[in-house]
Structure 1
Amino acid sequence: MEAILEVQDLHVRYGKVEAVHGVSLSVAPGQIVSVIGPNGAGKSTTLNAIMGTMDGTASSSGIVRFLCEDIGPMPVEERVRRGMCLVPETRELFSSMSVLDNLRLGAWPRRRAGDRNCMDQLETVYRLFPRLEERAQQDAGTLSGGERQMLALGRALMAKPKLLMLDEPSLGLAPLIVREIFHVVSRLRSTGVAILLIEQNARAALQVSDHGYVLETGNVALHGPAQELAGNRRVIDTYLGLGRQAAA
């Protein structure tokens, strides 16, 4: 199956310091691909380079193709228009606006493009996250951490993306909420959206993924089917926290 996203030999520099060293990865339509690794491995930097959201101190080289087209020269707005959507780890919600208004903003690129059905994903979002419907008129700033993550995901889905990129969706959340978030991520596979998942919680990420990449110090150290990585001794010892118990 032809990749919806293909990254080849991606390098990212901050001044003279190279943070990402020749990363290559791909995501097929309807596939969930995870990138796991420790803090400082270059996971979020890779994601921001793909989305074109790096700050002014960074520069990148390599090829990023989306829907078989080189999007390297394209601004963020054009990447969004073509069907890419990023949920950053900071979530970037409008705290003083209601839950519903935040969701409406997610549909804004479609509305600006003249899509009269730009709100047609609202029912799907409410079905995935019933609490958002219950709190539709509540200010986003009053939500719990888990509810804010749900709103960030829901807002992204309002844009009806072809590729959804998630940066550390479990960050700072209680274990019960983490399970709920990853359950929804797994369910999104049935909608046909492709997902690139950046995550430190290797166990949860590999459980919902089709394919995985292990990023260490800016390099792809391992990659393969998620189930194979979950059974890899190096991944078990380093990232799954099982150690000698798993070996026994």
Structure 2
Amino acid sequence: MMASSAFGANPVPVLDVRNLSVVYGGVVALQSVNVSVLAGQMVSVIGPNGAGKTTMLAAIMGRLACHGDVEVLGRNQSQCCVEQRVHQGMSLLPEARELFASMTVEDNLLMGAYSRHAQGFRDHHGTMKEVFQRFPKMKERRTQLAGTLSGGERAMLVLGRALMAKPKVLLLDEPSLGLAPLIVREIFRIIADLKRSGVAILLVEQNARAALQISDYGYVLETGKVVLEGPSTELASDQRVTETYLGGSALKSRAGT
């Protein structure tokens, strides 16, 4: 199924995942999952705990052994390690929000530019200015140790660090987890801005309502299989989705997101 007619008749996906399967000790965690994301598109994956959402992101990023094909801009990544996939333009924001706690905010950001620096790029100062424009609090905290930041600030720093790599496709694992509603709205606003700048975004999110509000297209993952997919507005009004994931009522509007 085509992701969205708004992206052209035959758009080429930035990220194209085909027949992705993961098996743990004989147990099938993912089975023949197909997902694609276009440039400037946000695609959400929703589903219950244990459905395989985080496993899917880890497999796409090369952190788990899997079967199937993962392509970035037409280049097959299936035989590439994590570092090589980062070089190709992939960045993953894991649910754990791991930081170098004993390093400053600025040094954590510089670590995010390591891949580009290793490839010969020397544009990290300009990229850091862009990150500080998106996250003014990070500029205020630039000399502060990352381990002393609040939960919301840590989430911003993890996202900012990923942006230092200038990703073509951004994989987000539960960016709203454990954050206050005000911080969640700010994080999602920044993610929406990134989409408008042309970054392809694959969003895994337990908050199905918020995910469908800000994404263009969505997949429903249950027990390792895609059981539904379609434009987010259609999924948000689908009876099965509303009853299972949206508390029994369809989304009324996408306005203001």
Same fold? TM cut 0.5: yes
| Distance (whole Å) between structure 2 residues aligned to residue 142 and residue 98 of structure 1 | 10
Distance 1:244-1:67 versus aligned 2 partners, 3 A rule: closer
Q: Does 1:242 align with 2:248?
A: yes
Aligned with 2:114 (options 99, 104, 108): 108
| Deviation, structure 1 residue 30 | 1.2
| Deviation, structure 1 residue 119 | 2.7
| Deviation, structure 1 residue 232 | 1.1
In 1, are the aligned partners of 2:23 and 2:66 still within 8 Å (CA)? yes
In 2, are the aligned partners of 1:107 and 1:119 still within 8 Å (CA)? no
Count of residues paired in the alignment:
242
Q: How do 1:158-173 residues align onto structure 2 when only pairs under 5 Å count?
A: 158-173=164-179
Q: How do 1:116-195 residues align onto structure 2 when only pairs under 5 Å count?
A: 116-195=122-201
1:70 alignment counterpart: 76
| Deviation, structure 1 residue 107 | 0.9
| Distance (whole Å) between structure 1 residues aligned to residue 114 and residue 216 of structure 2 | 31
Counterpart secondary structure, 1:120: helix
| Distance (whole Å) between structure 2 residues aligned to residue 2 and residue 80 of structure 1 | 20
Q: Which 4+ stretches in 1 moved above 3 angstroms?
A: 242-246
| Deviation, structure 1 residue 243 | 4.9
Specify the code of the residue in structure 1 equivalent to 2:198. G
| Deviation, structure 1 residue 97 | 0.6
User: Runs of 5+ in structure 1 lacking a partner?
Assistant: none
119-128 or 204-213, which deviates more: 119-128
Instruction: Give the root-mean-square deviation of aligned CA atoms.
Output: 1.5
Q: Does 1:48 align with 2:54?
A: no
Distance 1:36-1:2 versus aligned 2 partners, 3 A rule: same
Distance 1:101-1:236 versus aligned 2 partners, 3 A rule: same
| Distance (whole Å) between structure 2 residues aligned to residue 193 and residue 15 of structure 1 | 36
| Distance (whole Å) between structure 1 residues aligned to residue 95 and residue 125 of structure 2 | 25
2:234 alignment counterpart: 228
2:48 alignment counterpart: 38
1:212 alignment counterpart: 218
| Distance (whole Å) between structure 1 residues aligned to residue 121 and residue 69 of structure 2 | 31
TM-score normalised by structure 1 residue count = 0.94
Distance 1:142-1:73 versus aligned 2 partners, 3 A rule: same
Distance 1:203-1:139 versus aligned 2 partners, 3 A rule: same
| Deviation, structure 1 residue 245 | 11
- 1:114-168 deviation per Cα after TM superposition (whole angstroms, max 9, x unaligned): 1121332112211111111111111111111111000000000011000111111
| Distance (whole Å) between structure 2 residues aligned to residue 213 and residue 19 of structure 1 | 16
Distance 1:30-1:245 versus aligned 2 partners, 3 A rule: closer
1:61 alignment counterpart: 67
In 2, are the aligned partners of 1:50 and 1:64 still within 8 Å (CA)? yes
Distance 1:222-1:245 versus aligned 2 partners, 3 A rule: closer
The alignment-based identity, stated in percent, is 58
In 1, are the aligned partners of 2:209 and 2:251 still within 8 Å (CA)? no
| Deviation, structure 1 residue 76 | 0.7
